[in-house]
Amino acid sequence: VDVGTASVAEIGAAYRSGELSPVEVVEHCLARIEERDGEINAWITVLGDQAVAAAREAERALAGGDDRGPLHGIPFALKDNVDTATIETTCASRILRGNVPSEDADVAARLREAGAILLGKTNLLEFAYGIVHPDFGQCNNPLDTGRTSGGSSSGSCAAVADGMVPLAVGTDTGGSIRVPAAYCGVAGLKPTYDLVSRRGVFPLSWSLDHVGPIARTAADASLLLRAMAGERLPAVTAFGGADAVRGLRIGVVGEHLGDDLRPGVRSAFDRALGDLERAGATLAESSVRSLAYAEDALFPVFGPEAVAVHETWMRSRPEDYAPMTRTQLELGLLVPATDYVRAQRYRALLRSEFDAVFRDVDAVAAPTVAWVAPAEDPAIAGGDGAIEARRTGPYNLTGHPAVSVSCGPAEDGLPAGLQFAGPRMSDLRLLDVAAAYEEVRS
């Protein structure tokens, strides 16, 4: 079993057959981090001895017949805006340096209960708000270290892509799981709104924030989601392999195919649609007319909500933010209350149009981002930032689940993201579809 590429199920099977032990896997991950993270910068905190000790405990438990399920003994990472008891949680900001929570976030506690081993906390854009803080630096893309891994869940996606850890948790307010997943060639799900508890996760925008799984494959992401969401998930479905695509009705939303798509990304998307058709899916043209306003509605929601979160520090410590984080926060002051409400009303319109589409198709597919990984992350408050989130942000507005899996290669030998979105609470089904695509990808 190659720990750097094996699935969680394969690692788990190797634990139970005695071929591998949790200690060996954790030590492999720590060695990989030691070897590679100087170049990538995916981690803010690495829990060396603590993780090895937890691995020993998992090893003893498994040997003693105390088997907690598929994540028992599997290492995972948490984005560093997720609270961890006694472990610093910085949000990649100078403002929270030295912040040591007294309690685990719900999602951290759930994963520990499932027997997973916390390996450390990963880098992100400051407060998940779209820009790198110079104290923490950019997380570089493992596929091309001259480029960004994307944001804001940059470290979580890069660490998984580079084989430093098999599973990671991210957060997504406008695309912050799916964009870096696309850039790094991994699978990342923004679940249905509130499917995964946000308690103990530092907020960016309460009504848009989602906590979700990141993994090398959609099948692994599905295992992680089940542990993260627990009883909030509907009855568990079995993974159907490539069969999950047969007979599936997939809508291709015309508004997601604009001229902003880079040619290589469009070609990769068209090849992916061809793969899905050959595997038995039926494609249909779909339209969501109000998508024309989606990127206009995103900032009027999260801008003011972010100000409400940060107001005290904006007054007392403005210089401690990265300059563009401060600028973006201050822009949130400039959205009139009537336009915040207008944007919230627009969300109802957009959601009802997608709900109508999902009465005709099982899922919709689109490229996740218009381009492959750029050198640096574009600021949210600018033209490129809006384009980057154009195909991901709408699902934060509506609360529908959306997963990005790797397709391509698209341009410069780098992958693009293929995004599937579906009805609320269809998360496991979407991950099945994404996993089936990974099997039939040409």
Task: Give, as one character, the DSSP assignment of residue 116.
Answer: -
- How far is the C-alpha of 112 from the C-alpha of 176, rounded, in Å? 24
Shortest separation between residue 148's beta carbon and other proteins, angstroms: 21
Segment interacting with other proteins (CB under 8 A) among 164-172, 268-276, 278-286, 347-355: 347-355
For other proteins, the binding residue among 16, 60, 97, 345 (CB under 8 A) is 345
Q: Is 176 annotated in the active site?
A: yes
Q: Is 121 annotated in the active site?
A: no
Residue-level length of the chain: 442
Cα of first residue to Cα of last residue in the chain, in angstroms, is 24
Closer Cβ to other proteins, 94 or 351, answer by number: 351
Residues in CB range of 71: below 8 A, 6 or more apart:
8, 12, 111, 114, 115, 116, 167, 223, 224, 227
Q: Is 190 annotated in the active site?
A: no
Residue 197 as a binder of other proteins (CB under 8 A): the answer is no
For other proteins, the binding residue among 127, 193, 321, 437 (CB under 8 A) is 193
Closer Cβ to other proteins, 284 or 348, answer by number: 348
Task: Give, as one character, the DSSP assignment of residue 84.
Answer: B
- Total residues contacting other proteins by CB under 8 A comes to 42
Q: Which of 21, 79, 121, 406 is catalytic?
A: 79
In 3-state terms, what secondary structure has residue 336?
coil
Closer Cβ to other proteins, 169 or 397, answer by number: 397
- How far is the C-alpha of 336 from the C-alpha of 329, rounded, in Å? 14
Residue 137 as a binder of other proteins (CB under 8 A): the answer is no
For other proteins, the binding residue among 28, 32, 56, 342 (CB under 8 A) is 342
Q: Which long-range contacts (CB under 8 A, 24 or more apart) does 345-351 make?
A: 346/290, 346/293, 346/297, 346/397, 347/297, 347/301, 347/397, 347/398, 349/290, 350/288, 350/290, 350/291, 350/293, 350/294, 350/297, 350/394, 350/397, 350/398, 351/397, 351/398, 351/399, 351/400
For other proteins, the binding residue among 285, 341, 412, 413 (CB under 8 A) is 341
Shortest separation between residue 207's beta carbon and other proteins, angstroms: 6
- For binding to other proteins (CB under 8 A), which residues are involved? 193-194, 207-208, 290, 293, 295-297, 299-300, 307, 311, 314-315, 327, 330-331, 333-336, 339, 341-349, 351-352, 355, 381-383, 386, 397-399
Catalytic residues: 79, 152, 176
